[in-house]
Amino acid sequence: MSLQKYKKRYPNFIDLSFTCSTEDRYIYVKNRDSNDRFRVETPFLKVLKPVHNYKDKSYIILSVNNDFDFNDEVNDFVYMINKIHEFSQENIKLDSKKWFGKDFDIFDLDNIVKRPIEEHKSNNYIKLVINNSDVMEQKLANLEKEMYIKCSIEFNGLKISRETLMEEWYVMDYITQEDYENLNNVKELEESTVIYTPEIEEEVVKEIVEEMKETINQVVQDVEEETKETINQVVQVDDNVSVDVVSISAVASEIQSSVLPSTESKRKHKKNGKTNLITRKKIFTIEK
């Protein structure tokens, strides 16, 4: 990623202020406008050592090898760390006389200012200071070597020692790749789930009623056709047969009104205080 892309993503990427505290033996770094620490997210990095204790601090050591860095995320992250390193050198050079009583040139600073990234032939890694908090302590108990984690990190500043100025990035929080993927799956499920409101429920009920009407009409039509066919066959058997045919359409109306009562039938029901059930014992009668 180019510097311009980083400046677009992080408006305060190079607008950092450096303040030296001789009492704390520390150079604190903050965003000039907001007075906050400069914070970024790492890509997913492999854990080489979950907790590395050194003197008065604890560290997480993560690999920054780019063997499987198909999207250049690791390379972009390392580029950003290196740019912050350059800005640190430039600012220390400007104030080195005031802070240390000596003007440092760029060659001196190359040997004095140390990045948190170590480069080796077999493995490149970054050493991040663990933020001391109860949350981090609980999470670290479940962290294992070879896991992949994405971290939220802050550039705290540079620790002053006798011979070096060490840049310190703090891990404020992290998430494992497994938890991250599970979280995304849950979000996708939530987005695909329909939340039923009263309005949606009303529309669903209407659709069901319409489907019932269509089904009843089709059944009635089929029965009417079969009945007519049967009647025709009976008539053809004996010319003396008289047939009393009950209107199938009338039966259909009664079936439909009993299953799906109309507004008018509801009014009659309320007025009469009872429901009249019409029962037909015979669909048609044959008299000789």
C-beta of residue 129 within 8 angstroms of C-beta of residue 58: yes
Q: What is the mean pLDDT of the chain?
A: 77
CA distance 30 to 15: 9
Of 40-49, 131-140, 199-208, 258-267, give the lowest mean pLDDT range: 258-267
Structure confidence at residue 283 (pLDDT): 41
For the record, the structure tokens of 274 come out as: 């009872």
Domains by residue range for the chain, with CATH: 3-192 (2.40.50), 198-287 (no CATH)
What pLDDT band is residue 214 in, cutting at 50, 70 and 90? confident
DSSP 128-143: EEEP--HHHHHHHTT-
Structure confidence at residue 276 (pLDDT): 42
Q: Which is more confidently placed, 121 or 255?
A: 121
What pLDDT band is residue 273 in, cutting at 50, 70 and 90? very low
C-beta of residue 92 within 8 angstroms of C-beta of residue 110: no
Highest average pLDDT, of 72-76, 202-206, 238-242, 269-273, comes from: 72-76
Residue where the block lists tokens 């109309």: 262
Each residue's pLDDT tens digit, 37-92: 999 899 999 999 998 888 888 899 999 987 766 678 888 888 889 989 998 999 99
b/e code 95-104 from CB counts within 10 Å (16+ = b)? ebeebeeeeb
Structure confidence at residue 196 (pLDDT): 56
Structure confidence at residue 254 (pLDDT): 60
What pLDDT band is residue 256 in, cutting at 50, 70 and 90? low
Structure confidence at residue 271 (pLDDT): 47
C-beta of residue 124 within 8 angstroms of C-beta of residue 64: yes
Residue where the block lists tokens 């999470």: 139
Closest by CA position to 167, among listed 136, 123, 126, 124: 126
Residue 122 is classified by DSSP as S
C-beta of residue 257 within 8 angstroms of C-beta of residue 276: no
